[in-house]
Protein backbone atom coordinates (compact mmCIF):
# COMPACT_ATOMS: atom_id res chain seq x y z
CA UNK A 1 0.00 0.00 0.00
CA UNK A 2 2.73 2.42 1.07
CA UNK A 3 4.80 1.40 -1.94
CA UNK A 4 1.86 2.09 -4.26
CA UNK A 5 1.47 5.55 -2.79
CA UNK A 6 5.13 6.22 -3.36
CA UNK A 7 4.93 5.05 -6.95
CA UNK A 8 1.93 7.29 -7.44
CA UNK A 9 3.82 10.24 -5.96
CA UNK A 10 6.75 9.64 -8.28
CA UNK A 11 4.43 9.31 -11.29
CA UNK A 12 2.82 12.60 -10.33
CA UNK A 13 6.25 14.24 -10.14
CA UNK A 14 7.15 12.86 -13.57
CA UNK A 15 3.77 13.97 -14.96
CA UNK A 16 4.24 17.48 -13.59
CA UNK A 17 7.76 17.62 -15.01
CA UNK A 18 6.48 16.61 -18.47
CA UNK A 19 3.72 19.17 -18.28
CA UNK A 20 6.10 21.90 -17.14
CA UNK A 21 8.59 20.98 -19.86
CA UNK A 22 5.83 21.06 -22.50
CA UNK A 23 4.63 24.47 -21.33
CA UNK A 24 8.14 25.84 -21.37
CA UNK A 25 8.63 24.25 -24.81
CA UNK A 26 5.50 25.75 -26.33
CA UNK A 27 6.22 29.19 -24.89
CA UNK A 28 9.85 28.93 -25.94
CA UNK A 29 8.99 27.87 -29.48
CA UNK A 30 6.60 30.75 -29.89
CA UNK A 31 9.24 33.12 -28.62
CA UNK A 32 11.86 31.63 -30.94
CA UNK A 33 9.50 31.93 -33.90
CA UNK A 34 8.75 35.54 -33.07
CA UNK A 35 12.43 36.38 -32.69
CA UNK A 36 13.24 34.61 -35.96
CA UNK A 37 10.39 36.26 -37.74
CA UNK A 38 11.34 39.78 -36.78
CA UNK A 39 15.01 39.06 -37.52
CA UNK A 40 14.12 37.87 -41.03
CA UNK A 41 11.79 40.80 -41.56
CA UNK A 42 14.54 43.20 -40.55
CA UNK A 43 16.99 41.45 -42.80
CA UNK A 44 14.62 41.62 -45.78
CA UNK A 45 13.95 45.33 -45.15
CA UNK A 46 17.61 46.15 -44.63
CA UNK A 47 18.80 44.33 -47.74
CA UNK A 48 15.98 45.69 -49.91
CA UNK A 49 16.40 49.28 -48.81
CA UNK A 50 20.18 49.32 -48.82
CA UNK A 51 20.30 47.70 -52.24
CA UNK A 52 17.62 50.04 -53.62
CA UNK A 53 19.66 53.04 -52.51
CA UNK A 54 22.80 51.62 -54.04
CA UNK A 55 21.06 50.71 -57.28
CA UNK A 56 19.86 54.26 -57.61
CA UNK A 57 23.48 55.36 -57.44
CA UNK A 58 24.69 52.71 -59.86
CA UNK A 59 24.93 52.92 -63.62
CA UNK A 60 22.12 50.93 -65.29
CA UNK A 61 24.53 48.50 -66.98
CA UNK A 62 26.05 47.61 -63.62
CA UNK A 63 22.76 47.12 -61.85
CA UNK A 64 22.41 43.42 -62.69
CA UNK A 65 25.90 42.69 -61.52
CA UNK A 66 25.28 44.41 -58.21
CA UNK A 67 22.04 42.51 -57.72
CA UNK A 68 23.81 39.20 -58.44
CA UNK A 69 26.66 39.94 -56.03
CA UNK A 70 24.31 40.92 -53.22
CA UNK A 71 22.11 37.86 -53.87
CA UNK A 72 25.11 35.54 -53.88
CA UNK A 73 26.57 37.01 -50.73
CA UNK A 74 23.36 37.19 -48.72
CA UNK A 75 21.48 34.22 -50.18
CA UNK A 76 18.54 36.52 -50.72
CA UNK A 77 16.45 36.40 -53.92
CA UNK A 78 15.99 39.82 -55.45
CA UNK A 79 13.71 41.15 -58.18
CA UNK A 80 13.45 44.69 -59.61
CA UNK A 81 10.04 45.26 -61.16
CA UNK A 82 7.91 48.10 -62.44
CA UNK A 83 4.61 49.51 -61.30
CA UNK A 84 2.64 46.90 -63.28
CA UNK A 85 4.55 44.03 -61.77
CA UNK A 86 6.75 43.29 -64.71
CA UNK A 87 10.22 42.08 -63.79
CA UNK A 88 13.11 44.27 -64.95
CA UNK A 89 16.05 42.59 -63.29
CA UNK A 90 16.31 39.63 -60.97
CA UNK A 91 18.55 37.34 -59.05
CA UNK A 92 16.04 34.61 -58.34
CA UNK A 93 15.48 31.00 -59.29
CA UNK A 94 12.01 31.89 -60.40
CA UNK A 95 10.50 35.32 -60.79
CA UNK A 96 7.02 35.66 -59.37
CA UNK A 97 4.18 36.37 -61.75
CA UNK A 98 3.10 39.91 -62.63
CA UNK A 99 0.02 39.61 -60.44
CA UNK A 100 2.01 38.29 -57.54
CA UNK A 101 4.55 41.09 -57.78
CA UNK A 102 1.75 43.65 -57.97
CA UNK A 103 0.20 42.04 -54.88
CA UNK A 104 3.55 41.99 -53.05
CA UNK A 105 3.99 45.67 -53.87
CA UNK A 106 0.68 46.52 -52.28
CA UNK A 107 1.45 44.44 -49.21
CA UNK A 108 5.05 45.77 -48.91
CA UNK A 109 5.82 43.13 -46.22
CA UNK A 110 4.75 39.56 -45.76
CA UNK A 111 5.33 35.97 -46.69
CA UNK A 112 5.41 34.58 -50.16
CA UNK A 113 6.38 31.32 -51.84
CA UNK A 114 9.55 31.04 -53.89
CA UNK A 115 11.11 28.04 -55.60
CA UNK A 116 13.36 27.63 -52.56
CA UNK A 117 10.41 27.67 -50.19
CA UNK A 118 8.49 30.04 -48.04
CA UNK A 119 10.20 33.43 -47.75
CA UNK A 120 9.74 36.71 -46.03
CA UNK A 121 9.64 39.59 -48.47
CA UNK A 122 9.99 43.33 -48.36
CA UNK A 123 9.20 45.67 -51.20
CA UNK A 124 10.87 49.05 -51.38
CA UNK A 125 10.30 51.73 -53.99
CA UNK A 126 13.40 52.78 -55.85
CA UNK A 127 13.46 56.52 -55.59
CA UNK A 128 11.10 59.07 -54.19
CA UNK A 129 7.34 58.66 -54.90
CA UNK A 130 5.88 58.12 -57.29
CA UNK A 131 8.63 55.64 -58.00
CA UNK A 132 8.38 53.64 -61.15
CA UNK A 133 10.65 50.81 -60.05
CA UNK A 134 10.48 48.60 -57.02
CA UNK A 135 12.88 46.19 -55.44
CA UNK A 136 11.65 43.07 -53.67
CA UNK A 137 13.92 40.98 -51.42
CA UNK A 138 12.97 37.41 -50.42
CA UNK A 139 14.63 36.09 -47.28
CA UNK A 140 13.99 32.37 -46.76
CA UNK A 141 12.21 31.49 -43.54
CA UNK A 142 14.03 28.44 -42.05
CA UNK A 143 11.76 25.41 -41.74
CA UNK A 144 13.10 24.58 -38.32
CA UNK A 145 15.54 26.99 -36.92
CA UNK A 146 18.65 25.82 -35.14
CA UNK A 147 17.59 27.61 -32.03
CA UNK A 148 14.32 25.73 -31.80
CA UNK A 149 16.23 22.48 -32.25
CA UNK A 150 18.55 23.57 -29.48
CA UNK A 151 15.53 24.47 -27.40
CA UNK A 152 14.09 21.04 -28.01
CA UNK A 153 17.23 19.29 -26.93
CA UNK A 154 17.45 21.53 -23.86
CA UNK A 155 13.85 20.66 -22.99
CA UNK A 156 14.55 17.01 -23.52
CA UNK A 157 17.50 17.40 -21.17
CA UNK A 158 15.32 19.11 -18.55
CA UNK A 159 12.72 16.38 -18.88
CA UNK A 160 15.31 13.62 -18.56
CA UNK A 161 16.89 15.42 -15.62
CA UNK A 162 13.55 15.78 -13.82
CA UNK A 163 12.63 12.16 -14.50
CA UNK A 164 16.01 10.98 -13.25
CA UNK A 165 15.57 13.19 -10.18
CA UNK A 166 12.17 11.67 -9.53
CA UNK A 167 13.58 8.19 -9.94
CA UNK A 168 16.44 8.94 -7.54
CA UNK A 169 13.92 10.41 -5.12
CA UNK A 170 11.88 7.25 -5.36
CA UNK A 171 14.98 5.20 -4.67
CA UNK A 172 15.98 7.38 -1.73
CA UNK A 173 12.50 7.37 -0.27
CA UNK A 174 11.21 3.99 -1.20
CA UNK A 175 14.39 2.07 -1.82
CA UNK A 176 14.45 -1.27 -0.21
CA UNK A 177 11.78 -0.29 2.30
CA UNK A 178 11.11 -3.98 2.74
CA UNK A 179 14.78 -4.81 3.11
CA UNK A 180 15.32 -2.00 5.60
CA UNK A 181 12.39 -3.18 7.69
CA UNK A 182 13.67 -6.75 7.52
CA UNK A 183 17.11 -5.50 8.56
CA UNK A 184 15.75 -3.62 11.60
CA UNK A 185 13.54 -6.58 12.48
CA UNK A 186 16.48 -8.99 12.27
CA UNK A 187 18.47 -6.77 14.66
CA UNK A 188 15.60 -6.66 17.13
CA UNK A 189 15.20 -10.42 16.95
CA UNK A 190 18.92 -10.94 17.40
CA UNK A 191 18.85 -8.69 20.44
CA UNK A 192 15.93 -10.61 21.90
CA UNK A 193 17.58 -13.95 21.21
CA UNK A 194 21.20 -13.34 22.12
CA UNK A 195 21.54 -11.93 25.59
CA UNK A 196 25.10 -10.82 24.87
CA UNK A 197 24.06 -8.87 21.78
CA UNK A 198 25.78 -5.47 21.91
CA UNK A 199 22.55 -3.61 22.50
CA UNK A 200 24.22 -0.21 22.49
CA UNK A 201 25.33 -0.50 18.88
CA UNK A 202 23.07 1.62 16.66
CA UNK A 203 21.54 0.30 13.45
CA UNK A 204 22.82 2.24 10.43
CA UNK A 205 20.15 4.57 9.03
CA UNK A 206 19.69 3.70 5.37
CA UNK A 207 16.81 5.89 4.28
CA UNK A 208 15.12 9.12 5.27
CA UNK A 209 11.53 7.89 5.17
CA UNK A 210 9.37 6.24 7.84
CA UNK A 211 11.79 3.31 8.01
CA UNK A 212 14.57 5.81 8.67
CA UNK A 213 12.56 7.42 11.45
CA UNK A 214 11.73 4.00 12.80
CA UNK A 215 15.41 3.08 12.80
CA UNK A 216 16.26 6.32 14.57
CA UNK A 217 13.60 5.75 17.21
CA UNK A 218 14.78 2.20 17.60
CA UNK A 219 18.36 3.37 18.03
CA UNK A 220 17.26 5.72 20.80
CA UNK A 221 15.45 2.83 22.41
CA UNK A 222 18.55 0.67 22.10
CA UNK A 223 20.66 3.39 23.71
CA UNK A 224 18.26 3.69 26.63
CA UNK A 225 17.96 -0.05 26.88
CA UNK A 226 21.74 -0.35 27.02
CA UNK A 227 21.85 2.19 29.86
CA UNK A 228 19.12 0.33 31.72
CA UNK A 229 20.87 -2.95 31.09
CA UNK A 230 24.13 -1.63 32.52
CA UNK A 231 22.31 -0.25 35.54
CA UNK A 232 20.51 -3.55 35.96
CA UNK A 233 23.64 -5.68 35.68
CA UNK A 234 25.38 -3.36 38.18
CA UNK A 235 22.45 -3.74 40.56
CA UNK A 236 22.34 -7.45 39.93
CA UNK A 237 26.01 -7.97 40.66
CA UNK A 238 25.67 -5.86 43.82
CA UNK A 239 22.60 -7.86 44.83
CA UNK A 240 24.36 -11.13 44.08
CA UNK A 241 27.35 -10.05 46.13
CA UNK A 242 24.99 -9.06 48.96
CA UNK A 243 23.21 -12.40 48.63
CA UNK A 244 26.49 -14.28 48.84
CA UNK A 245 27.40 -12.27 51.93
CA UNK A 246 24.02 -12.97 53.47
CA UNK A 247 24.30 -16.70 52.82
CA UNK A 248 27.79 -16.76 54.30
CA UNK A 249 26.57 -14.76 57.29
CA UNK A 250 23.62 -17.06 57.84
CA UNK A 251 25.80 -20.16 57.57
CA UNK A 252 28.13 -18.66 60.16
CA UNK A 253 25.22 -17.66 62.42
CA UNK A 254 23.73 -21.10 62.04
CA UNK A 255 26.96 -22.74 63.13
CA UNK A 256 27.82 -20.25 65.87
CA UNK A 257 24.37 -20.30 67.41
CA UNK A 258 23.17 -23.81 66.85
CA UNK A 259 26.24 -25.53 68.27
CA UNK A 260 26.14 -23.89 71.73
CA UNK A 261 22.33 -23.95 71.67
CA UNK A 262 22.27 -27.71 71.12
CA UNK A 263 24.76 -28.07 73.96
CA UNK A 264 22.55 -25.95 76.23
CA UNK A 265 19.49 -28.01 75.34
CA UNK A 266 21.42 -31.22 75.88
CA UNK A 267 22.59 -30.09 79.33
CA UNK A 268 19.09 -28.91 80.22
CA UNK A 269 17.68 -32.32 79.26
CA UNK A 270 20.35 -34.06 81.33
CA UNK A 271 19.66 -31.82 84.35
CA UNK A 272 15.91 -32.23 84.07
CA UNK A 273 16.21 -36.00 83.75
CA UNK A 274 17.83 -35.99 87.23
CA UNK A 275 20.77 -38.14 86.12
CA UNK A 276 23.14 -35.75 87.88
CA UNK A 277 21.01 -35.69 91.04
CA UNK A 278 17.61 -34.31 91.91
CA UNK A 279 16.83 -30.61 91.32
CA UNK A 280 15.05 -28.36 93.75
CA UNK A 281 11.60 -27.32 92.46
CA UNK A 282 12.92 -23.80 91.76
CA UNK A 283 15.92 -25.14 89.83
CA UNK A 284 13.62 -27.47 87.91
CA UNK A 285 11.41 -24.53 86.91
CA UNK A 286 14.42 -22.46 85.91
CA UNK A 287 15.99 -25.20 83.81
CA UNK A 288 12.60 -25.92 82.21
CA UNK A 289 12.42 -22.24 81.31
CA UNK A 290 15.93 -22.39 79.87
CA UNK A 291 15.04 -25.43 77.80
CA UNK A 292 11.81 -23.79 76.53
CA UNK A 293 13.58 -20.61 75.53
CA UNK A 294 16.40 -22.59 73.95
CA UNK A 295 13.97 -24.63 71.88
CA UNK A 296 12.18 -21.48 70.82
CA UNK A 297 15.47 -19.92 69.78
CA UNK A 298 16.51 -23.02 67.86
CA UNK A 299 13.14 -23.06 66.09
CA UNK A 300 13.57 -19.41 65.22
CA UNK A 301 17.08 -19.94 63.85
CA UNK A 302 15.94 -22.95 61.84
CA UNK A 303 12.98 -21.01 60.43
CA UNK A 304 15.13 -18.02 59.47
CA UNK A 305 17.67 -20.27 57.76
CA UNK A 306 14.93 -22.10 55.94
CA UNK A 307 13.26 -18.90 54.80
CA UNK A 308 16.58 -17.53 53.63
CA UNK A 309 17.26 -20.71 51.66
CA UNK A 310 13.79 -20.44 50.12
CA UNK A 311 14.26 -16.78 49.21
CA UNK A 312 17.68 -17.22 47.66
CA UNK A 313 16.52 -20.24 45.67
CA UNK A 314 19.04 -22.49 47.38
CA UNK A 315 16.30 -24.80 48.57
CA UNK A 316 15.55 -27.28 45.81
CA UNK A 317 12.67 -29.69 45.66
CA UNK A 318 12.41 -33.05 43.91
CA UNK A 319 8.91 -33.77 42.67
CA UNK A 320 7.58 -37.32 42.65
CA UNK A 321 4.20 -39.03 43.14
CA UNK A 322 3.48 -39.01 46.87
CA UNK A 323 0.53 -40.49 48.76
CA UNK A 324 -1.24 -37.62 50.47
CA UNK A 325 -3.00 -40.19 52.70
CA UNK A 326 0.30 -41.60 54.05
CA UNK A 327 1.68 -38.16 54.85
CA UNK A 328 -1.61 -37.07 56.46
CA UNK A 329 -1.76 -40.26 58.58
CA UNK A 330 1.81 -39.79 59.88
CA UNK A 331 1.26 -36.12 60.73
CA UNK A 332 -2.10 -36.89 62.39
CA UNK A 333 -0.33 -39.41 64.64
CA UNK A 334 2.25 -36.79 65.68
CA UNK A 335 -0.48 -34.17 66.16
CA UNK A 336 -2.43 -36.52 68.42
CA UNK A 337 0.64 -36.90 70.63
CA UNK A 338 1.16 -33.09 70.70
CA UNK A 339 -2.49 -32.53 71.64
CA UNK A 340 -2.58 -35.30 74.20
CA UNK A 341 -2.55 -32.76 77.07
CA UNK A 342 -5.82 -31.18 75.87
CA UNK A 343 -9.35 -32.29 75.12
CA UNK A 344 -8.63 -32.14 71.42
CA UNK A 345 -9.21 -34.98 69.02
CA UNK A 346 -7.00 -35.21 65.96
CA UNK A 347 -8.61 -37.23 63.16
CA UNK A 348 -7.94 -38.23 59.57
CA UNK A 349 -10.78 -38.07 57.05
CA UNK A 350 -9.89 -39.77 53.78
CA UNK A 351 -12.47 -41.51 51.61
CA UNK A 352 -10.11 -42.02 48.70
CA UNK A 353 -6.47 -42.57 47.97
CA UNK A 354 -4.94 -39.37 46.61
CA UNK A 355 -1.53 -39.16 45.04
CA UNK A 356 0.04 -35.77 44.36
CA UNK A 357 3.21 -34.57 42.68
CA UNK A 358 5.41 -33.34 45.51
CA UNK A 359 8.68 -33.52 47.36
CA UNK A 360 7.78 -35.99 50.19
CA UNK A 361 9.98 -34.31 52.80
CA UNK A 362 8.70 -30.83 52.02
CA UNK A 363 5.09 -32.00 51.78
CA UNK A 364 5.40 -33.48 55.23
CA UNK A 365 6.85 -30.18 56.45
CA UNK A 366 3.87 -28.31 54.98
CA UNK A 367 1.30 -30.56 56.60
CA UNK A 368 3.22 -30.62 59.88
CA UNK A 369 3.29 -26.82 60.01
CA UNK A 370 -0.46 -26.61 59.50
CA UNK A 371 -1.29 -29.37 61.98
CA UNK A 372 1.08 -28.04 64.65
CA UNK A 373 -0.45 -24.55 64.27
CA UNK A 374 -3.91 -26.09 64.66
CA UNK A 375 -2.77 -27.98 67.75
CA UNK A 376 -1.08 -24.84 69.10
CA UNK A 377 -4.18 -22.67 68.75
CA UNK A 378 -6.95 -25.17 69.56
CA UNK A 379 -7.79 -25.52 73.23
CA UNK A 380 -10.64 -28.00 72.84
CA UNK A 381 -12.63 -29.70 70.17
CA UNK A 382 -11.37 -31.33 67.01
CA UNK A 383 -8.64 -31.08 64.46
CA UNK A 384 -9.60 -32.89 61.26
CA UNK A 385 -7.15 -33.56 58.44
CA UNK A 386 -9.25 -34.16 55.33
CA UNK A 387 -7.82 -35.66 52.12
CA UNK A 388 -9.77 -35.20 48.89
CA UNK A 389 -9.25 -34.79 45.16
CA UNK A 390 -10.88 -33.15 42.20
CA UNK A 391 -10.08 -33.29 38.49
CA UNK A 392 -6.82 -31.37 38.65
CA UNK A 393 -5.66 -31.35 42.24
CA UNK A 394 -5.34 -33.30 45.42
CA UNK A 395 -6.32 -31.30 48.51
CA UNK A 396 -5.48 -31.61 52.17
CA UNK A 397 -7.49 -29.50 54.61
CA UNK A 398 -6.53 -28.98 58.24
CA UNK A 399 -9.69 -27.87 60.03
CA UNK A 400 -9.69 -26.91 63.69
CA UNK A 401 -12.11 -25.60 66.27
CA UNK A 402 -9.65 -22.95 67.44
CA UNK A 403 -10.12 -19.18 67.85
CA UNK A 404 -10.34 -18.50 64.12
CA UNK A 405 -8.67 -15.69 62.22
CA UNK A 406 -10.37 -12.34 61.60
CA UNK A 407 -10.82 -11.56 57.87
CA UNK A 408 -8.62 -8.45 58.10
CA UNK A 409 -5.71 -10.62 59.29
CA UNK A 410 -6.23 -13.54 56.91
CA UNK A 411 -3.77 -12.17 54.34
CA UNK A 412 -1.20 -10.81 56.76
CA UNK A 413 -0.59 -14.05 58.63
CA UNK A 414 1.03 -15.52 55.50
CA UNK A 415 3.68 -12.80 55.58
CA UNK A 416 6.99 -13.13 57.39
CA UNK A 417 6.94 -12.41 61.14
CA UNK A 418 3.19 -11.68 61.07
CA UNK A 419 0.86 -13.01 63.73
CA UNK A 420 -2.67 -12.23 64.73
CA UNK A 421 -3.03 -9.51 67.35
CA UNK A 422 -3.99 -11.94 70.10
CA UNK A 423 -1.01 -14.14 69.30
CA UNK A 424 1.36 -11.17 69.32
CA UNK A 425 0.12 -10.25 72.75
CA UNK A 426 0.99 -13.73 73.99
CA UNK A 427 4.48 -13.46 72.51
CA UNK A 428 4.49 -17.05 71.26
CA UNK A 429 5.83 -18.35 67.98
CA UNK A 430 7.88 -16.58 65.36
CA UNK A 431 5.36 -15.73 62.68
CA UNK A 432 7.48 -17.54 60.09
CA UNK A 433 5.71 -20.90 59.85
CA UNK A 434 2.95 -19.88 57.43
CA UNK A 435 5.35 -17.76 55.35
CA UNK A 436 7.57 -20.80 54.86
CA UNK A 437 4.55 -23.05 54.22
CA UNK A 438 3.18 -20.66 51.61
CA UNK A 439 6.49 -20.53 49.75
CA UNK A 440 6.89 -24.30 49.85
CA UNK A 441 3.38 -24.77 48.46
CA UNK A 442 4.12 -22.26 45.69
CA UNK A 443 7.29 -24.18 44.78
CA UNK A 444 5.05 -27.21 44.21
CA UNK A 445 2.84 -25.18 41.86
CA UNK A 446 0.11 -25.52 44.42
CA UNK A 447 -1.99 -23.09 46.44
CA UNK A 448 -2.74 -22.48 50.08
CA UNK A 449 -6.21 -21.22 51.02
CA UNK A 450 -7.71 -20.18 54.30
CA UNK A 451 -11.30 -20.24 55.43
CA UNK A 452 -11.98 -19.06 58.91
CA UNK A 453 -14.58 -17.64 61.21
CA UNK A 454 -13.65 -15.99 64.48
CA UNK A 455 -14.78 -18.16 67.38
CA UNK A 456 -15.60 -21.13 65.14
CA UNK A 457 -12.21 -22.25 63.85
CA UNK A 458 -9.99 -22.22 60.79
CA UNK A 459 -9.47 -24.43 57.78
CA UNK A 460 -6.21 -24.27 55.82
CA UNK A 461 -6.33 -26.11 52.48
CA UNK A 462 -3.31 -27.13 50.43
CA UNK A 463 -3.99 -27.96 46.77
CA UNK A 464 -1.32 -29.78 44.77
CA UNK A 465 -1.22 -31.24 41.26
CA UNK A 466 -2.89 -34.65 41.42
CA UNK A 467 -1.39 -37.78 39.88
CA UNK A 468 -3.95 -40.09 38.33
CA UNK A 469 -3.05 -43.71 37.99
The residues that touch ligand ADP, with contacts defined as CB under 6 A, are 373-374, 377, 400, 402-403, 405, 413, 419-420, 423, 429-435, 458
CB-count burial class (<10 Å; 0-12, 13-18, 19+) for 284 = middle
Residues 369 and 363 sit within 8 Å (Cβ to Cβ): no
Nearer Cβ to ligand ADP (123/434)? 434
Please state the closest distance from residue 323 (CB atom) to ligand ADP, in A: 24
Secondary structure (3-state) at 358? strand
Report how far residue 348's alpha carbon sits from residue 261's, in angstroms, rounded to the nearest whole number.
Answer: 36
Alpha helical stretches, state H, 57-112: 60-74, 98-107
Please state the closest distance from residue 258 (CB atom) to ligand ADP, in A: 19
Cβ-based neighbour number of residue 229 at 10 Å: 14
Enter the DSSP assignment of 80. Answer: E
Nearer Cβ to ligand ADP (85/403)? 403
Nearer Cβ to ligand ADP (96/446)? 446
Q: What's the maximum distance between 2 C-alpha atoms anywhere in the chain? A: 179
341: Cα separation from own chain's centroid = 68
Nearer Cβ to ligand ADP (96/335)? 335
Identify any residues that bridge with 411 across adjacent strands, giving them in sequence order.
Answer: none
Please state the closest distance from residue 426 (CB atom) to ligand ADP, in A: 9
Please state the closest distance from residue 291 (CB atom) to ligand ADP, in A: 18
Report how far residue 368's alpha carbon sits from residue 306's, in angstroms, rounded to the nearest whole number.
Answer: 15
Identify any residues that bridge with 384 across adjacent strands, giving them in sequence order.
Answer: 347, 399
Nearer Cβ to ligand ADP (121/377)? 377
Please state the closest distance from residue 382 (CB atom) to ligand ADP, in A: 12
Please state the closest distance from residue 330 (CB atom) to ligand ADP, in A: 19
Nearer Cβ to ligand ADP (45/420)? 420
Enter the DSSP assignment of 116. Answer: T
Beta strands in 319-465 (DSSP E): 320-323, 344-350, 355-358, 381-389, 393-400, 447-453, 457-465
Give every CB contact of residue 311 below 8 A, 6+ residues apart in sequence. Answer: 439
Please state the closest distance from residue 373 (CB atom) to ligand ADP, in A: 4
Please state the closest distance from residue 452 (CB atom) to ligand ADP, in A: 7
Please state the closest distance from residue 467 (CB atom) to ligand ADP, in A: 28
Distances (CA, A) of 2 to 11, 114, 174, 179, 404: 14, 62, 9, 14, 68
Please state the closest distance from residue 377 (CB atom) to ligand ADP, in A: 4
Secondary structure (3-state) at 88? strand
Enter the DSSP assignment of 92. Answer: S
Nearer Cβ to ligand ADP (25/433)? 433
Q: Count each helix (H run) and each strand (E run) in the chain, helices first.
A: 11, 12
Among residues 405, 415, 402, 420, which one has the least CA distance to residue 450?
405
Nearer Cβ to ligand ADP (63/400)? 400
Nearer Cβ to ligand ADP (95/383)? 383
Nearer Cβ to ligand ADP (206/447)? 447
Bond prior to 53 in cis (omega within 30° of 0): no
Amino acid sequence: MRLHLRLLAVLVVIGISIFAASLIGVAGLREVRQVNDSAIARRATLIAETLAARLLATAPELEQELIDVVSRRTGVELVVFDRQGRSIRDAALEVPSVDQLALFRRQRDGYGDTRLGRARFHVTPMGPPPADRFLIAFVLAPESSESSAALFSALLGVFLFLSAGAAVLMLAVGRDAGRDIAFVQARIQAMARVRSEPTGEPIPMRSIDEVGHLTQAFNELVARFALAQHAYSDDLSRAQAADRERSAFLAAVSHELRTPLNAILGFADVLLSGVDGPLTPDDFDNVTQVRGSGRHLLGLINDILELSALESGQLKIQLEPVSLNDIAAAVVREGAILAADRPVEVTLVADEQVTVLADPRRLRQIVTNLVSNAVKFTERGEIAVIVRSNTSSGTLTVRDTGPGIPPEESVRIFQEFRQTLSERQRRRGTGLGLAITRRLVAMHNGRLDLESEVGMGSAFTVSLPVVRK
